[in-house]
Amino acid sequence: MFNTPFRVISLAIAGASIVSLHAQAAQNLSSMMVEIRQQDGIPSYYNLATGMPLNGDIAIVRDNQGYTLGQFSEGIPNGKWQVFHTNNSKLIEGNYLQGYQDGTWRLFDLSGAVTEEQQFTKGVPTGEWKEYNSSGQLTQTTRYKDGKKEQVKRFYASGKLQAQESYLDNLRHGKWESFYENGTLSQSQSYANNQLSGPYLEQNPDGQASVTGRFDAEGRRQGLWETFFDDGTKSSASQFNLNQLDGEERTFYPNGELASLCQYKAGQRQGKCQQFNDAGKLQFEEQYVNDALDGQQQYFNAEGNLTSDLNYKQNQLAGTQKYFYDNGQLKELRSYQDSKLAENGQYPLHGPSERYDAEGSLLEKSHYDMGIRDGLFERYSAGKLQSSEQWQQGQRHGESRRYHSNDQLRSLDEYVEGKLTGKSESYFEDGTVNERGKRINGQWVGQYESFYDNGKPRELAHYASEKKDNASRYPLDGHFARWYANGDPNEEGEYQNGNKQGLWIQYSEGLKQREQTFADGKLNGDYIEYYHGRRRVAGQYLDNQKTGLWIDYRYEEKDPTYGAIPEGNIQQKSHWQENKRHGVREFYSFKQVVYRSETYDTNDKTGPYAEYYPNNGQLKLSGTMDKGNQTGLWESWFEDGMQAASTEFLDGQNHGQSKEYYSNGQLKLEATYAKGSFDGQVKQYHQNGKPQLVETWVKGQKEGDASYYHNNGKLAEQGTYLRDRKEGLWQSFWPNGEKRTEGSYISDRESGDWNHYDQLGKLIKTEHHG
């Protein structure tokens, strides 16, 4: 059974491609051509090609797996044996004697360093085995006798002993010790037949014990076990029986003060368990039965004051529980059932429950029945009752009251099985009513009233007693009114099944502000707006859309220039269809004379347009609009009826012939436009009928000859334009006809010699312009 080295049996026949190192072998064989047969635990190697056993020096190789050099006698390994890596590094070296490992065997790493030395006598481990690290330092020795391990020693890199182990028949037996590198004992324990037995010791590097105890013959902790801090002060002392805590266990702080004291029985806490802080103050005292909290449990703060006094039954809160503030005042009292479990397997809240503030004033008081709130539930603030509720099996049922800080009733509500159903009232601090009515499932039904804090009414509404299944609220149904805080009305009207119906009036400062007529919630019929009691707008609605004649009135009582304005003075009239202007729209002066008339087609300004003089109604401007743009012939007149202008338009721009007149009827301007710009000859006249100018325009620019005249009809200036700039010879003349200046322009700038003459035609100077 010991015929191959430990941990390397898989390498015994490893091979690789044939290389020079095994050229010395008498024969090279692929591992695929070798068969290994076992007989009486001894391997025999055969050549598959010949069926003959291997003899002599043989190299067994395998592609990319290294190779083995061995000596064989009739197929049995006998002699030198070596295993190599693919890089020719030796991995194993030893000898076989008739199929058994014999003598010294060595294992190597890839660098060639020895990692282990093993000793065999005819396949049986014997003597001292050694292991080395990568630096060649001894790390472990194992002593064998007749194939059985007797002793193991482990070493630090420094060569000092790290651990020593004893074995009997390959089982742990005797003393086991480990050491710090300074030579101090770290751990000491004994084994008997592979079981811990006897004294046990752990020490720190200074040789001070950290753990002491004893194991029985079965490897179980028994008797007193102790732990220590590094300075030797005791950390804990525990009694064990059959490897379980049994009896008293104490733990300590480094200053020697007791940290905890607990009683155990068969590994379970049994009886009293206490914990202390490092000042010796008790932190908690618990009672256990079979490792479960059972009985009175008390917990304390750092000063030793009681913070909670609890009762448990088999790890569950049961009975009366008390919690305290640091000043000793009761903070909370809870009562739990202690004989009947709830469905979740715990004892439920059962009986009175109370909460207090740090001064001892009651904050909350309630009662529970098997975990469900049942009975009176009260809340307090600064010792005063805030709310009082009746509960039944986890639901509000009955009266629910809330109070102001002055003890006045704040609200009174009635509940039925958790739902706000019945009377519902609220009050201001002085006791006056805020709102009142009746609710079903939290929603108002029937008559509802609300008030301002001065006692004046705020709102009056009526709700239906039935609603649709998918509706969240009951619909308003009946008279509705709302008031301002001073008692003035705000609005009033009627609801029918949630929709406004009939006449609704809104008010401002005691006067009507708006009158609206509704049908099934939509504006239908007359509509009037007021300003300080005077009409502002009047018209009609059809299904929420403006329709028919609408009139806007001047709602101011007077105008700075006109003076007093009578009520009903019309500002404009317009016609509507489906909420869009459609038809004639007229604007009126203070004297109720139409001064402008427009025509609309579904909100577009389209059709005849006219303006009038407000004093006499004389036509001022007339034309046609097409979707907001002027189109066709437009004419205007002076207030006495004399024509002022006539112009042709296309898409809102001057296009075609245009004439303007003086108030005496004399022609002032005649021109031709194309898309908003002068195009053609433009003539302008003085009021006496004499010509004032004659110009030629092309697409909005002056182009060609231009002449300008004095009021007496004589020529004042003449010349030529090129693309809206003066170009070539230009002359100007005095009103008596004599020449005044003469010169040339280049691109609107004077150029060359310019001559200047007096009114008698005499040359007075010549200027040269570059």
Residue carrying the six token digits 């307090």 = 380
Mean pLDDT, rounded, for 3-11: 37
What is the predicted pLDDT for the residue at 6? 39
What is the predicted pLDDT for the residue at 514? 97
Using 50, 70 and 90 to split pLDDT, how confident is the model at 375?
very high
Q: Is the pLDDT at 17 greater than 60, yes or no? A: no
Say if CB 16 and CB 56 are below 8 A apart: no
Please provide residue 371's backbone torsions phi and psi, each rounded to the nearest 5 degrees. 85, -5
Q: Is the pLDDT at 196 greater than 70, yes or no? A: yes
Mean pLDDT, rounded, for 529-552: 97
End-to-end C-alpha distance for the chain, whole angstroms = 128
Which tens digit of pLDDT belongs to each residue from 726-762?
999 999 999 999 999 999 999 999 999 999 999 999 9
Q: How far apart are CA 305 and CA 164, in angstroms?
A: 54
Mean pLDDT, rounded, for 177-187: 97
What is the predicted pLDDT for the residue at 25? 54
Mean pLDDT, rounded, for 447-451: 98
- How much is the mean pLDDT over the chain? 94
Mean pLDDT, rounded, for 122-126: 95
Q: Is the pLDDT at 2 greater than 60, yes or no? A: no
Judged on CB neighbours under 10 Å (0-12, 13-18, 19+), 236 is middle
Which tens digit of pLDDT belongs to each residue from 163-177?
999 999 999 999 999
Mean pLDDT, rounded, for 220-230: 97
Q: Is the pLDDT at 549 greater than 70, yes or no? A: yes
Which tens digit of pLDDT belongs to each residue from 681-734?
999 999 999 999 999 999 999 999 999 999 999 999 999 999 999 999 999 999
Judged on CB neighbours under 10 Å (0-12, 13-18, 19+), 41 is exposed
Mean pLDDT, rounded, for 99-103: 96
Say if CB 283 and CB 298 are below 8 A apart: no
Judged on CB neighbours under 10 Å (0-12, 13-18, 19+), 129 is buried
Mean pLDDT, rounded, for 229-243: 97
% of the chain residues with pLDDT over 90: 93
3-class SS shares of the chain: helix, strand, coil, % to 5? 0, 65, 35
DSSP state letter for 297 = E
Q: Is the pLDDT at 7 greater than 60, yes or no? A: no
Q: Which two tokens stand for residue 349?
A: 């809240």
Q: Which conformational region is residue 370 in: left (phi greater than 0), alpha (psi within -120 to 50 degrees), or beta?
A: left
Which residues pair with residue 234 across a beta bridge?
A: 228
Q: How far apart are CA 32 and CA 364, in angstroms?
A: 90
What is the predicted pLDDT for the residue at 26? 66
Q: Is the pLDDT at 336 greater than 60, yes or no? A: yes
Q: How far apart are CA 278 and CA 259, in angstroms?
A: 7
| Residue 348 CA neighbour count, 13 Å, CB half | 14
Say if CB 371 and CB 318 are below 8 A apart: no
Please provide residue 13's backbone torsions phi and psi, each rounded to the nearest 5 degrees. -120, 20
What is the predicted pLDDT for the residue at 561? 84
Mean pLDDT, rounded, for 346-357: 97
Q: How far apart are CA 520 and CA 528, in angstroms?
A: 19
Within 562-714, strands assigned E span 563-564, 570-577, 580-588, 594-601, 604-605, 607-612, 619-626, 629-637, 643-650, 653-661, 667-674, 677-678, 680-685, 691-698, 701-702, 704-709
Q: Is the pLDDT at 18 greater than 80, yes or no? A: no
| Residue 20 CA neighbour count, 13 Å, CB half | 0
What is the predicted pLDDT for the residue at 770? 80
Mean pLDDT, rounded, for 332-338: 97
The alpha carbon of residue 473 and the mean position of all alpha carbons in its chain are separated, in whole angstroms, by 34
**Model-level pTM?**
0.63
Using 50, 70 and 90 to split pLDDT, how confident is the model at 1?
very low
Q: Residue 226 is inside which H or E element, if any?
A: strand 223-228
Using 50, 70 and 90 to split pLDDT, how confident is the model at 14?
very low
% of the chain residues with pLDDT over 70: 97
286 CB neighbour count, 10 Å cutoff: 20
Using 50, 70 and 90 to split pLDDT, how confident is the model at 41?
confident
Q: Is the pLDDT at 143 greater than 70, yes or no? A: yes
The alpha carbon of residue 598 and the mean position of all alpha carbons in its chain are separated, in whole angstroms, by 57
Q: Which two tokens stand for residue 648?
A: 């042709």
Give the angle subtended at the CA of 519 by the CAs of 514 and 521, to the nearest 5°.
80
Q: Is the pLDDT at 253 greater than 90, yes or no? A: yes
Which tens digit of pLDDT belongs to each residue from 268-326?
999 999 999 999 999 999 999 999 999 999 999 999 999 999 999 999 999 999 999 99
Please provide residue 712's backbone torsions phi and psi, each rounded to the nearest 5 degrees. -85, 0
Please provide residue 454's backbone torsions phi and psi, each rounded to the nearest 5 degrees. -90, 5
Using 50, 70 and 90 to split pLDDT, how confident is the model at 62?
confident
Closest among 641, 748, 738 to 702, alpha carbons compared: 748
Say if CB 681 and CB 675 are below 8 A apart: no
